[in-house]
Amino acid sequence: MKIDQRTTRAMNRRLILNLVRKEGALSRADLANATGLSPAAVTFVVTDLLAEGYLIEGETAPGGGGRRPVPLSINYRGRLAIGVKMNIGSLDCVLTDLSTSVISSLSVPFDNPAPETVLDAAENAIQRLLRAAPEHAGQLTGVGFSMPGTIDMPAGVCVSSNRFGWRDVPFAKMLRDRIGAPVWMEDDTLAFALAQHLFGLGSQHAIFLALAVGVGIGCATVANGVVLRGAHGRAGKLGHNTHRLEGPMCECGRAGCLQTFHSVPVIVDAWRRGKGLGAEADRYSMKEAALQGDDLACGLLQQAGEDIGVHLASVINSTDPEIVVVGGEAVTFGDLLFDPMRRMLDRYCYTRAPAIIPDEREHFWAAGAAALAIQGLFNFEMADSG
């Protein structure tokens, strides 16, 4: 009986928090109407959430007579989260509020990707971010850590990451033991998709794709509020679809994967070599060159957009999403990359192609990782930490 009451309470909390997250300010009466809960049950849960600082009461609308309803909103500034994204040679770290809005950020290098080395770098970065946190910024909800690979998210274990050579590393627990705060970890594309669902461009869509084009290429599906992780957390590996049977070797051990042709480092490197440029030429200079009419830069971006677009059309034909949200370093290239992609969708989608919408926010990777530490508030499947 006691467990049933606790479960009901936990479900009602998430029901109400999710509704306010999606709809914005709502009164207690709105909440009772929308959820079908009794006014007493709504008041009970709302009182708790106000006391804990997760909800705040706003100003009543002016004018009219009688008792006016008080709008309730999520107190996004009431707590903090930290997101850490593992890149080659560095960690991108952000301190955010509960909407993953970035308060401060820093990047810390590491010499080699051994778990202990990365652990030292992560601990150092988290401590620096917390020391620099604004006064009265609220308590830390937890830390989210994202990296490319196969992650057992519930267990907090990196099962494998080809890019960093990790096998069965219980990194979430290792980091938690160092910093004394809850830690969640996830594949970077799946974490990016989660952030887009909770607070980003996908928040108003029942089904959407989250395409990420960076050092790898990933494409996660979010359906009915759930990021589809697959049976082993390996969903969304679009970049490992075979593009050419006889192609370059991929980090996954197969030849010809899509990302061996069109990841951001691959296309920038092809441009650099073609132009005889050094390492100082980066994706920003490549974009500038393309905008000035550089044929090689334009051609590489067009080919990448078209080829990724053809693979994306297959995913669209099997999932029928409302939109495609795009993130990753490739967002820098903008329509130089996305227009060719759109043309391929128009050509190869079974019906009308969904819109491709880039997320141009800085720190989207690390902010995506921060969402891992926040999702427990809204996610019905996760254990209640409260």
Q: Which amino acid is at 274?
A: G
List 130's β-bridge partners, or say none.
none
Footprint of Zn ion on this chain (CB under 5 A)? Answer: 240, 250, 252, 257
Q: Is the Cβ of residue 195 or residue 235 nearer to Zn ion in the bound state?
A: 235
Give the nearest distance from C-beta 148 to Zn ion in angstroms. 11
Give the nearest distance from C-beta 226 to Zn ion in angstroms. 26
Q: Is the Cβ of residue 75 or residue 259 nearer to Zn ion in the bound state?
A: 259
In three-state secondary structure terms, 244 is coil
Q: Is the Cβ of residue 243 or residue 287 nearer to Zn ion in the bound state?
A: 243
Give the nearest distance from C-beta 216 to Zn ion in angstroms. 9
Q: Is the Cβ of residue 264 or residue 377 nearer to Zn ion in the bound state?
A: 264
Q: What angle, 0 to 180 degrees and rounded to 10, lies between the N-to-C axes of helices 295-319 and 264-275? A: 160
> How many helices and strands in the chain, by DSSP H and E?
12, 15
- Order the strands of the 183-187 sheet from edge to edge: 102-109, 90-96, 79-87, 139-147, 183-187
CA atoms within 13 A on the CB side of 331: 19
CA proximity to 70, closest of 82, 61, 79: 61
Give the nearest distance from C-beta 48 to Zn ion in angstroms. 48
Q: What angle, 0 to 180 degrees and rounded to 10, lies between the N-to-C axes of helices 335-348 and 283-291? A: 80
Give the nearest distance from C-beta 270 to Zn ion in angstroms. 18
Q: Is the Cβ of residue 85 or residue 237 nearer to Zn ion in the bound state?
A: 237
Separation between Cα atoms, residue 197 and residue 375, nearest integer Å: 10
Give the nearest distance from C-beta 103 to Zn ion in angstroms. 36
Separation between Cα atoms, residue 111 and residue 150, nearest integer Å: 23
Q: Is the Cβ of residue 240 or residue 272 nearer to Zn ion in the bound state?
A: 240
Give the nearest distance from C-beta 344 to Zn ion in angstroms. 21
Q: Is the Cβ of residue 156 or residue 216 nearer to Zn ion in the bound state?
A: 216
CA proximity to 84, closest of 155, 160, 184: 184
In three-state secondary structure terms, 372 is helix
Separation between Cα atoms, residue 240 and residue 78, nearest integer Å: 40
Q: 355-358 and 323-327: which strand pairing?
A: parallel
Q: Is the Cβ of residue 107 or residue 160 nearer to Zn ion in the bound state?
A: 160
Give the nearest distance from C-beta 158 to Zn ion in angstroms. 17
Distance of CA 49 to the CA centre of its chain: 26
Give the nearest distance from C-beta 229 to Zn ion in angstroms. 19
Give the nearest distance from C-beta 306 to Zn ion in angstroms. 20
Q: Is the Cβ of residue 266 or residue 357 nearer to Zn ion in the bound state?
A: 266
Q: Is the Cβ of residue 138 or residue 256 nearer to Zn ion in the bound state?
A: 256
Tell whether the torsion through CA atoms of 330, 219, 197 and 234 is positive or negative: negative
Using alpha carbons, list the distances in angstroms from residue 292 to 132, 274, 286, 326, 330: 42, 17, 10, 24, 18
Using alpha carbons, list the distances in angstroms from residue 274 to 70, 215, 294, 332: 63, 20, 11, 20
